[in-house]
Amino acid sequence: MKHVLVLSTLYPNPVNPRFGTFVARSVEALAKRGDWRVSVVSPIGLPPLALGRYRPLAELPAVSTEGGITVYRPHFTLIPKIGARRNAAAIARAVLPLARRIHAESPVDLIDAQFFFPDGPAAAEVAGALGLPLSIKARGSDISFWGEYDFARRQMLAAAKSATGLLAVSRDLAGQMAALGMAADKITVHYTGLDRDRFRPFDHTQLRRQLSEELGFAMPGNAPLLACVGALIERKGQGIAIQALREIPGARLVLVGKGEDEARLRALAASEGVADRVLFAGSVDHDLMPLILSAADVMVLPTVSEGLANAWVEALACGTPVVTSDVGGARELIACDTAGRLVARTPQAVAAGINAVLANPPPREAVAALTEHFSWDANAAALAAHYERVVSEA
Protein backbone atom coordinates (compact mmCIF):
# COMPACT_ATOMS: atom_id res chain seq x y z
CA MET A 1 0.00 0.00 0.00
CA LYS A 2 1.43 3.35 -1.04
CA HIS A 3 1.23 6.32 1.32
CA VAL A 4 0.10 9.84 0.36
CA LEU A 5 0.48 12.82 2.66
CA VAL A 6 -2.34 15.23 1.84
CA LEU A 7 -1.87 18.89 2.75
CA SER A 8 -5.12 20.85 2.89
CA THR A 9 -5.99 24.07 4.70
CA LEU A 10 -9.48 23.41 3.35
CA TYR A 11 -10.73 20.57 5.55
CA PRO A 12 -13.64 20.12 7.99
CA ASN A 13 -13.00 20.28 11.71
CA PRO A 14 -15.22 20.26 14.82
CA VAL A 15 -15.37 24.07 14.84
CA ASN A 16 -16.20 24.34 11.11
CA PRO A 17 -17.69 20.94 10.20
CA ARG A 18 -18.85 22.06 6.72
CA PHE A 19 -15.50 23.58 5.72
CA GLY A 20 -14.07 21.69 2.76
CA THR A 21 -16.24 18.59 3.20
CA PHE A 22 -15.66 17.74 -0.46
CA VAL A 23 -11.94 17.33 0.24
CA ALA A 24 -12.69 14.98 3.12
CA ARG A 25 -15.14 12.90 1.07
CA SER A 26 -12.60 12.56 -1.74
CA VAL A 27 -9.68 11.35 0.41
CA GLU A 28 -11.97 9.15 2.53
CA ALA A 29 -13.20 7.44 -0.66
CA LEU A 30 -9.58 7.00 -1.74
CA ALA A 31 -8.62 5.45 1.60
CA LYS A 32 -11.54 3.00 1.42
CA ARG A 33 -10.17 1.58 -1.83
CA GLY A 34 -7.29 -0.01 0.07
CA ASP A 35 -4.49 0.75 -2.39
CA TRP A 36 -3.43 4.07 -0.83
CA ARG A 37 -2.87 4.91 2.80
CA VAL A 38 -3.91 8.51 3.43
CA SER A 39 -2.59 10.88 6.08
CA VAL A 40 -4.03 14.41 6.17
CA VAL A 41 -2.23 17.49 7.43
CA SER A 42 -4.66 20.38 7.82
CA PRO A 43 -2.72 23.42 9.10
CA ILE A 44 -4.63 25.83 11.33
CA GLY A 45 -3.76 29.50 10.97
CA LEU A 46 -3.80 31.45 14.23
CA PRO A 47 -2.87 35.08 14.92
CA PRO A 48 -0.25 35.80 17.62
CA LEU A 49 -3.12 36.17 20.12
CA ALA A 50 -5.74 33.51 19.44
CA LEU A 51 -8.80 35.34 20.76
CA GLY A 52 -12.44 35.51 19.71
CA ARG A 53 -13.31 33.17 16.85
CA TYR A 54 -9.73 31.83 16.80
CA ARG A 55 -9.81 30.47 20.35
CA PRO A 56 -11.88 27.34 19.52
CA LEU A 57 -9.52 26.64 16.59
CA ALA A 58 -6.52 26.86 18.92
CA GLU A 59 -8.11 24.22 21.14
CA LEU A 60 -8.59 21.63 18.39
CA PRO A 61 -6.69 18.38 19.05
CA ALA A 62 -3.33 18.17 17.30
CA VAL A 63 -4.17 14.74 15.91
CA SER A 64 -7.41 12.80 15.54
CA THR A 65 -8.98 10.00 13.51
CA GLU A 66 -11.82 11.13 11.27
CA GLY A 67 -13.57 9.07 8.62
CA GLY A 68 -10.95 6.37 9.06
CA ILE A 69 -8.10 8.81 8.33
CA THR A 70 -5.49 10.25 10.68
CA VAL A 71 -5.76 14.05 10.57
CA TYR A 72 -2.98 16.27 11.92
CA ARG A 73 -3.60 19.95 12.67
CA PRO A 74 -0.35 21.85 13.28
CA HIS A 75 -0.58 25.59 13.93
CA PHE A 76 1.02 28.30 11.83
CA THR A 77 1.16 32.02 12.54
CA LEU A 78 -1.47 33.92 10.57
CA ILE A 79 -1.57 37.68 10.16
CA PRO A 80 -5.24 38.26 9.22
CA LYS A 81 -5.94 40.20 6.00
CA ILE A 82 -2.36 41.32 5.35
CA GLY A 83 -0.25 38.18 5.73
CA ALA A 84 -1.23 36.26 2.58
CA ARG A 85 2.17 36.55 0.89
CA ARG A 86 3.88 34.76 3.77
CA ASN A 87 1.26 32.10 4.54
CA ALA A 88 2.76 29.41 2.31
CA ALA A 89 6.18 29.78 3.93
CA ALA A 90 4.62 29.80 7.41
CA ILE A 91 2.66 26.64 6.62
CA ALA A 92 5.77 24.89 5.29
CA ARG A 93 7.72 25.74 8.48
CA ALA A 94 4.91 24.33 10.61
CA VAL A 95 4.35 21.21 8.51
CA LEU A 96 7.88 20.10 7.61
CA PRO A 97 8.92 18.73 11.05
CA LEU A 98 5.63 16.83 11.26
CA ALA A 99 6.00 15.52 7.71
CA ARG A 100 9.53 14.31 8.50
CA ARG A 101 8.19 12.41 11.52
CA ILE A 102 5.30 10.85 9.57
CA HIS A 103 7.70 9.89 6.77
CA ALA A 104 10.10 8.28 9.25
CA GLU A 105 7.31 6.26 10.90
CA SER A 106 5.63 5.17 7.66
CA PRO A 107 7.45 6.12 4.44
CA VAL A 108 5.50 8.54 2.27
CA ASP A 109 5.38 8.04 -1.51
CA LEU A 110 3.72 11.30 -2.53
CA ILE A 111 2.90 14.79 -1.24
CA ASP A 112 -0.47 16.14 -2.40
CA ALA A 113 -1.88 19.66 -2.04
CA GLN A 114 -5.66 19.95 -2.31
CA PHE A 115 -5.75 23.69 -3.01
CA PHE A 116 -3.31 25.67 -5.10
CA PHE A 117 -2.78 28.64 -2.78
CA PRO A 118 -1.36 28.74 -0.19
CA ASP A 119 -1.27 24.94 0.02
CA GLY A 120 0.57 24.33 -3.27
CA PRO A 121 3.70 26.39 -2.59
CA ALA A 122 3.84 25.06 0.98
CA ALA A 123 3.55 21.46 -0.22
CA ALA A 124 6.24 22.12 -2.84
CA GLU A 125 8.66 23.15 -0.12
CA VAL A 126 7.85 20.06 1.96
CA ALA A 127 8.11 17.72 -1.04
CA GLY A 128 11.43 19.26 -2.05
CA ALA A 129 12.87 18.87 1.44
CA LEU A 130 11.81 15.22 1.62
CA GLY A 131 12.74 14.42 -1.98
CA LEU A 132 9.21 13.25 -2.82
CA PRO A 133 7.00 13.70 -5.90
CA LEU A 134 4.28 16.35 -5.72
CA SER A 135 0.71 16.73 -6.97
CA ILE A 136 -1.30 19.96 -6.65
CA LYS A 137 -5.02 20.44 -7.26
CA ALA A 138 -6.69 23.67 -8.43
CA ARG A 139 -10.31 24.28 -7.46
CA GLY A 140 -11.25 27.70 -8.81
CA SER A 141 -10.65 30.85 -6.79
CA ASP A 142 -7.11 29.71 -6.02
CA ILE A 143 -6.40 30.35 -9.71
CA SER A 144 -8.95 33.02 -10.71
CA PHE A 145 -8.53 35.13 -7.54
CA TRP A 146 -4.98 34.54 -6.31
CA GLY A 147 -3.63 34.41 -9.86
CA GLU A 148 -4.30 38.15 -10.06
CA TYR A 149 -1.72 38.85 -7.34
CA ASP A 150 1.90 38.91 -8.50
CA PHE A 151 3.32 37.35 -5.33
CA ALA A 152 0.80 34.50 -5.31
CA ARG A 153 1.15 33.87 -9.04
CA ARG A 154 4.93 33.64 -8.72
CA GLN A 155 4.63 31.19 -5.83
CA MET A 156 2.05 29.06 -7.65
CA LEU A 157 4.02 28.94 -10.91
CA ALA A 158 7.17 27.86 -9.04
CA ALA A 159 5.19 25.16 -7.23
CA ALA A 160 3.59 23.98 -10.50
CA LYS A 161 7.03 23.75 -12.10
CA SER A 162 8.31 21.53 -9.30
CA ALA A 163 5.19 19.31 -9.31
CA THR A 164 5.08 16.07 -11.29
CA GLY A 165 1.33 16.28 -11.84
CA LEU A 166 -1.47 18.85 -11.51
CA LEU A 167 -5.25 18.48 -11.18
CA ALA A 168 -8.09 20.82 -12.16
CA VAL A 169 -11.78 20.45 -11.26
CA SER A 170 -12.93 21.41 -14.78
CA ARG A 171 -11.66 21.74 -18.34
CA ASP A 172 -12.15 25.49 -18.14
CA LEU A 173 -9.96 25.72 -15.04
CA ALA A 174 -7.28 23.61 -16.73
CA GLY A 175 -7.26 26.21 -19.50
CA GLN A 176 -6.91 29.02 -16.98
CA MET A 177 -3.95 27.25 -15.39
CA ALA A 178 -2.23 26.87 -18.76
CA ALA A 179 -2.92 30.52 -19.58
CA LEU A 180 -1.29 31.47 -16.29
CA GLY A 181 1.88 29.69 -17.41
CA MET A 182 1.54 26.17 -16.04
CA ALA A 183 2.53 23.23 -18.23
CA ALA A 184 -0.63 21.99 -19.95
CA ASP A 185 0.76 18.47 -20.31
CA LYS A 186 0.95 18.15 -16.52
CA ILE A 187 -2.74 18.98 -15.97
CA THR A 188 -5.44 16.31 -15.58
CA VAL A 189 -9.13 17.18 -15.17
CA HIS A 190 -10.49 15.62 -11.98
CA TYR A 191 -14.22 16.16 -11.49
CA THR A 192 -15.78 16.32 -8.06
CA GLY A 193 -17.60 13.38 -6.53
CA LEU A 194 -21.16 13.00 -5.32
CA ASP A 195 -22.90 11.08 -2.55
CA ARG A 196 -25.49 9.46 -4.78
CA ASP A 197 -27.44 7.94 -1.86
CA ARG A 198 -27.91 11.34 -0.27
CA PHE A 199 -28.26 13.66 -3.27
CA ARG A 200 -31.21 12.39 -5.31
CA PRO A 201 -34.73 13.63 -6.01
CA PHE A 202 -37.03 13.48 -2.99
CA ASP A 203 -40.62 13.69 -4.18
CA HIS A 204 -42.42 13.45 -0.85
CA THR A 205 -45.58 15.53 -1.13
CA GLN A 206 -45.14 16.93 2.37
CA LEU A 207 -41.49 17.91 1.90
CA ARG A 208 -42.03 21.67 1.83
CA ARG A 209 -44.36 21.56 4.82
CA GLN A 210 -41.80 19.61 6.83
CA LEU A 211 -39.02 22.00 5.83
CA SER A 212 -41.22 25.00 6.67
CA GLU A 213 -41.70 23.65 10.18
CA GLU A 214 -38.03 22.76 10.66
CA LEU A 215 -36.64 26.03 9.30
CA GLY A 216 -39.42 28.32 10.54
CA PHE A 217 -40.01 29.76 7.08
CA ALA A 218 -43.16 29.66 4.97
CA MET A 219 -42.72 27.62 1.79
CA PRO A 220 -46.17 27.60 0.14
CA GLY A 221 -46.66 24.80 -2.34
CA ASN A 222 -47.95 27.23 -4.96
CA ALA A 223 -45.01 29.67 -4.72
CA PRO A 224 -41.66 29.27 -6.50
CA LEU A 225 -38.91 28.14 -4.14
CA LEU A 226 -35.33 29.10 -4.92
CA ALA A 227 -32.23 27.80 -3.14
CA CYS A 228 -28.82 29.48 -3.18
CA VAL A 229 -25.95 27.44 -1.74
CA GLY A 230 -22.60 29.05 -1.01
CA ALA A 231 -20.62 31.11 1.47
CA LEU A 232 -22.17 34.51 2.09
CA ILE A 233 -19.41 36.47 0.37
CA GLU A 234 -19.89 39.12 -2.28
CA ARG A 235 -18.45 37.15 -5.20
CA LYS A 236 -21.09 34.41 -4.81
CA GLY A 237 -23.78 36.89 -5.89
CA GLN A 238 -26.51 36.32 -3.31
CA GLY A 239 -27.27 40.06 -3.51
CA ILE A 240 -28.15 39.69 -7.19
CA ALA A 241 -30.46 36.77 -6.36
CA ILE A 242 -32.19 38.89 -3.70
CA GLN A 243 -32.71 41.76 -6.14
CA ALA A 244 -34.06 39.32 -8.75
CA LEU A 245 -36.93 38.37 -6.40
CA ARG A 246 -38.78 41.56 -7.31
CA GLU A 247 -39.32 40.14 -10.80
CA ILE A 248 -40.33 36.64 -9.67
CA PRO A 249 -43.81 37.01 -8.13
CA GLY A 250 -44.25 35.29 -4.78
CA ALA A 251 -40.92 33.46 -4.92
CA ARG A 252 -39.13 32.46 -1.71
CA LEU A 253 -35.33 32.33 -1.52
CA VAL A 254 -33.39 30.13 0.90
CA LEU A 255 -29.75 31.14 1.37
CA VAL A 256 -27.69 28.21 2.63
CA GLY A 257 -24.31 29.24 4.02
CA LYS A 258 -22.74 31.79 6.28
CA GLY A 259 -20.15 34.50 5.81
CA GLU A 260 -19.03 38.07 6.20
CA ASP A 261 -21.63 39.45 3.75
CA GLU A 262 -24.67 38.44 5.81
CA ALA A 263 -25.38 41.85 7.39
CA ARG A 264 -25.23 43.61 4.02
CA LEU A 265 -27.48 40.99 2.44
CA ARG A 266 -30.06 41.29 5.22
CA ALA A 267 -30.11 45.06 4.77
CA LEU A 268 -30.47 44.62 1.01
CA ALA A 269 -33.42 42.25 1.42
CA ALA A 270 -35.10 44.83 3.65
CA SER A 271 -34.43 47.75 1.28
CA GLU A 272 -35.74 45.70 -1.68
CA GLY A 273 -38.93 44.96 0.24
CA VAL A 274 -38.43 41.18 0.11
CA ALA A 275 -37.11 40.44 3.61
CA ASP A 276 -40.15 38.26 4.36
CA ARG A 277 -39.35 36.13 1.30
CA VAL A 278 -35.68 35.45 2.13
CA LEU A 279 -34.48 32.88 4.65
CA PHE A 280 -30.91 33.01 5.96
CA ALA A 281 -30.59 29.32 6.82
CA GLY A 282 -26.90 29.43 7.79
CA SER A 283 -24.90 26.21 7.65
CA VAL A 284 -27.34 23.32 7.53
CA ASP A 285 -26.90 19.68 8.43
CA HIS A 286 -25.61 17.62 5.52
CA ASP A 287 -28.75 15.45 5.65
CA LEU A 288 -30.95 18.54 5.31
CA MET A 289 -29.19 19.90 2.22
CA PRO A 290 -30.63 17.39 -0.29
CA LEU A 291 -34.12 17.98 1.12
CA ILE A 292 -33.81 21.74 0.54
CA LEU A 293 -32.45 21.20 -2.96
CA SER A 294 -35.18 18.68 -3.79
CA ALA A 295 -37.90 21.01 -2.51
CA ALA A 296 -36.57 23.91 -4.59
CA ASP A 297 -37.72 24.68 -8.11
CA VAL A 298 -34.39 26.29 -9.02
CA MET A 299 -30.92 26.51 -7.51
CA VAL A 300 -29.56 29.98 -8.24
CA LEU A 301 -25.91 31.07 -7.90
CA PRO A 302 -24.91 34.29 -9.75
CA THR A 303 -21.24 33.77 -8.91
CA VAL A 304 -18.23 35.71 -10.19
CA SER A 305 -16.00 32.65 -10.53
CA GLU A 306 -15.98 28.91 -9.86
CA GLY A 307 -13.96 25.90 -10.88
CA LEU A 308 -16.86 23.50 -10.88
CA ALA A 309 -19.18 24.23 -7.96
CA ASN A 310 -20.22 21.22 -5.87
CA ALA A 311 -23.54 22.99 -5.32
CA TRP A 312 -24.25 22.81 -9.06
CA VAL A 313 -23.67 19.06 -9.12
CA GLU A 314 -25.65 18.41 -5.93
CA ALA A 315 -28.63 20.47 -7.11
CA LEU A 316 -28.79 18.68 -10.46
CA ALA A 317 -28.52 15.31 -8.71
CA CYS A 318 -31.60 16.29 -6.68
CA GLY A 319 -33.46 16.99 -9.92
CA THR A 320 -33.29 20.78 -9.53
CA PRO A 321 -32.24 22.93 -12.51
CA VAL A 322 -29.51 25.51 -11.97
CA VAL A 323 -29.44 29.18 -12.96
CA THR A 324 -25.89 30.44 -12.70
CA SER A 325 -23.26 32.58 -14.37
CA ASP A 326 -21.35 31.46 -17.45
CA VAL A 327 -18.13 31.01 -15.50
CA GLY A 328 -15.62 28.25 -14.88
CA GLY A 329 -16.90 24.78 -15.63
CA ALA A 330 -20.57 25.83 -15.75
CA ARG A 331 -20.85 24.96 -19.45
CA GLU A 332 -19.58 21.48 -18.67
CA LEU A 333 -22.69 20.91 -16.53
CA ILE A 334 -25.34 23.38 -17.74
CA ALA A 335 -25.17 22.24 -21.35
CA CYS A 336 -28.91 22.14 -22.15
CA ASP A 337 -32.19 23.65 -20.97
CA THR A 338 -32.90 20.54 -18.92
CA ALA A 339 -29.95 21.48 -16.68
CA GLY A 340 -30.99 25.15 -16.34
CA ARG A 341 -29.75 28.44 -17.74
CA LEU A 342 -26.47 30.37 -17.93
CA VAL A 343 -27.13 34.07 -17.43
CA ALA A 344 -25.44 37.43 -17.01
CA ARG A 345 -24.79 38.67 -13.48
CA THR A 346 -27.66 41.17 -13.33
CA PRO A 347 -30.92 40.92 -11.39
CA GLN A 348 -32.88 41.18 -14.63
CA ALA A 349 -30.97 38.37 -16.37
CA VAL A 350 -31.11 36.12 -13.29
CA ALA A 351 -34.85 36.71 -12.94
CA ALA A 352 -35.39 36.00 -16.64
CA GLY A 353 -33.44 32.74 -16.39
CA ILE A 354 -35.37 31.62 -13.33
CA ASN A 355 -38.72 32.55 -14.88
CA ALA A 356 -37.81 30.62 -18.04
CA VAL A 357 -37.19 27.47 -15.99
CA LEU A 358 -40.36 28.00 -13.94
CA ALA A 359 -42.40 28.41 -17.12
CA ASN A 360 -41.19 25.10 -18.54
CA PRO A 361 -39.83 22.93 -15.71
CA PRO A 362 -37.96 19.83 -16.89
CA PRO A 363 -38.74 16.39 -15.42
CA ARG A 364 -36.76 16.00 -12.22
CA GLU A 365 -35.53 12.52 -13.14
CA ALA A 366 -34.19 13.89 -16.43
CA VAL A 367 -32.27 16.59 -14.54
CA ALA A 368 -30.85 14.07 -12.08
CA ALA A 369 -29.74 11.80 -14.92
CA LEU A 370 -27.30 14.49 -16.03
CA THR A 371 -25.07 13.66 -13.03
CA GLU A 372 -24.95 9.89 -13.50
CA HIS A 373 -21.18 9.94 -14.03
CA PHE A 374 -20.49 11.70 -10.73
CA SER A 375 -19.73 9.62 -7.63
CA TRP A 376 -17.10 9.54 -4.90
CA ASP A 377 -16.08 6.06 -6.06
CA ALA A 378 -15.36 7.40 -9.56
CA ASN A 379 -13.57 10.40 -8.04
CA ALA A 380 -11.38 8.11 -5.91
CA ALA A 381 -10.57 5.80 -8.81
CA ALA A 382 -9.46 8.74 -10.95
CA LEU A 383 -7.42 10.16 -8.06
CA ALA A 384 -5.69 6.82 -7.43
CA ALA A 385 -4.82 6.53 -11.14
CA HIS A 386 -3.40 10.07 -11.10
CA TYR A 387 -1.30 9.35 -8.01
CA GLU A 388 0.06 6.17 -9.63
CA ARG A 389 1.13 8.16 -12.69
CA VAL A 390 2.79 10.85 -10.59
CA VAL A 391 4.79 8.29 -8.60
CA SER A 392 5.79 6.33 -11.69
CA GLU A 393 6.90 9.49 -13.54
CA ALA A 394 8.84 11.00 -10.65
Domain boundaries, the chain: 2-193+375-393, 207-369
Q: Residue 255: which of 271, 272, 239 has the closest Cα?
A: 239
Q: Which CATH code for domain 2-193+375-393?
A: 3.40.50.2000
CATH class for the region spanning 207-369: alpha beta
Q: What is the pLDDT of residue 225?
A: 97
Q: What is the pLDDT of residue 15?
A: 93
The per-residue pLDDT for range 277-327, each reduced to its tens digit, is 999 999 888 889 999 999 999 999 999 999 999 999 999 999 999 999 999
Average pLDDT, the chain: 95
Chain center to CA of 198 = 17
Total number of residues shown for the chain = 394
Q: What is the pLDDT of residue 33?
A: 96
| Residues 169-185, mean pLDDT to the nearest whole number | 96
Equal fold, 2-193+375-393 vs 207-369 = yes
* Confidence band of 274 (pLDDT split at 50, 70, 90): very high
| Residues 60-83, mean pLDDT to the nearest whole number | 93
